[in-house]
Amino acid sequence: MTTPSTPSASEAPSLVGEEYEVEVGPVAHGGHCIARTPGGRVLFVRHTLPGERVTARVTEGDESSRFLRADAVEVLEASPDRIPAPCPFSGPGKCGGCDWQHVAPGAQRRLKGAVVAEQLSRLAGLTPQEAGWDGTVEPAPGDKVAKGEVPAWRTRVQYAVDEDGQAGLRKHRSHEVQPVDHCLIAAPGVSELGVEKREWPQIAGVEAIAATGSNDRQVILTPRPGGRLPIVELDRPVSVMRVEERDGGVHRVHGRPFVRERAAGRTWRVGSGGFWQVHPKAADLLVEAVMQGLMPRKGEMALDLYCGVGLFAGAIAERVGETGAVLGIESGKRAVEDARHNLADLDRVRIEQGKVEQVLPKTGITEADLIVLDPPRAGAGRQTVARIAALGARRVVYVACDPAALARDLAYFREGGYKPRKLRAFDLFPMTHHVECVAILEPAAKGS
């Protein structure tokens, strides 16, 4: 006798296209709000706001799903924070690049603040007061715009290209391309290239980069399998790079293989594919926040973990002076080359290549005065946080692009004897759900 098997998720009846009239609850991490179907199943609904009543159409999920994803396709009772979306490509089934085009700018920051507070509470067991945070999300200088206006901030835009060679942006959680003729959040230097106005035969993707503080412009082309590179003629002088199909490496076609960025009083070489903050004001803003948190002193020893092209390492090195020392650790080979080039005049700085969790134990370092870490979206993790905490730094500054990862790692830091002294949140990604945080930590025993 055989036991009947349970139907797999793929065999369960799909609910895609089903519509429910729902009351919308709180905002959640990820650019959506929480609602429930009449049967009680959780709905993650985009294009809505807390307190609204909407018709939600399911976009993902079936009868076996723990939760469903949906779009608000009709607003029955609107929030006072709702505005007409300035972008014609924003809305259900359209571009997935922005989450909050339909929300007044000040309300966007309040939503992000609510998400940060919820993640701190749920994953770290911290109230805003315990985290040293006043609950606000600060706009970048120049980004405080009126309702209906959109700051043009994105200095790096990754365009996808459809089968007809038309550049556009991906739809939400989809490989499908939404052609666009202008992205409102693209920085002027990106828009001036005119990527959207020309066809891109045999190309799968075009990344457009407009440096801050220089006139450097670059496009990185990803050909379709077996595709040939077109002759690139854009509206401004531009260097061209190509992503190789066989190894995924980025190789120069013509022009400089890097762009020159300007921040913290220095010029920074950033090679193709290298990390640099996307908002033009972000680098200076974050350096200021990190230095205020660390308060470096002459002669101190500091670590810059996940150091990229050396932004924080350079700022720290200038403050600890010739008797101090800075060690940067970065996994990306090209970023390490750039960091060493950028900081070649500071002999007190050393840059090591490799993953932080692998390189840090091999350095032989048993103590440090100051530590800054700017990990990828997934965070640093328990093991790396434990090793950092064991070094006994008087100050640790954590730069985070994901509030959930930050909250998880703050809980690990508490296990290692560190507590938040101050936290700041910055709206460096307007119109999207993303938020940047800077947490300043110190030994919990201090002052107790």
Backbone angles phi, psi at 410, to 5 degrees: -65, -35
Contact yes or no for 151/145 (Cβ under 8 A): yes
Angle at 433 between CA 134 and CA 65, to 5 degrees: 120
CA distances from 123 to 126, 264, 408 (A): 8, 34, 5
Residue for token pair 């701190």: 120
Contact yes or no for 113/102 (Cβ under 8 A): no
DSSP classification of residue 9: G
146 class by beta-carbon count within 10 Å (0-12 exposed, 13-18 middle, 19+ buried): exposed
The residue from 33, 98, 183, 401 that is catalytic is 401
Q: Tell me the residue ranges of DSSP E strands in 343-412.
A: 349-353, 370-373, 395-400
Structure tokens at 131: 């985290």
Contact yes or no for 315/293 (Cβ under 8 A): no
Pairing of strands 53-60, 19-23: antiparallel
Pairing of strands 349-353, 32-36: unpaired
> Which of left, alpha, beta for 202 (phi over 0: left; psi -120 to 50: alpha)?
left
Cα–Cα distance, 243 to 202 (Å, whole number):
13
Judged by DSSP in three states, 46 sits in: strand
Instruction: Based on the residue annotation, tell me whether 98 is a catalytic residue of this protein.
Output: no
Backbone angles phi, psi at 189, to 5 degrees: -65, -30
Which amino acid is residue 279, in one-letter code? H
Cα–Cα distance, 433 to 99 (Å, whole number):
6
Cα–Cα distance, 215 to 197 (Å, whole number):
21
Contact yes or no for 343/267 (Cβ under 8 A): no
265 class by beta-carbon count within 10 Å (0-12 exposed, 13-18 middle, 19+ buried): exposed
Residue for token pair 């507070």: 117
Structure tokens at 2: 């055989």
Backbone angles phi, psi at 424, to 5 degrees: -125, 145
Query: 3-state DSSP helix/strand/coil percent for the chain, to nearest 5?
Result: 20, 30, 50
Q: Which residues are catalytic?
A: 401
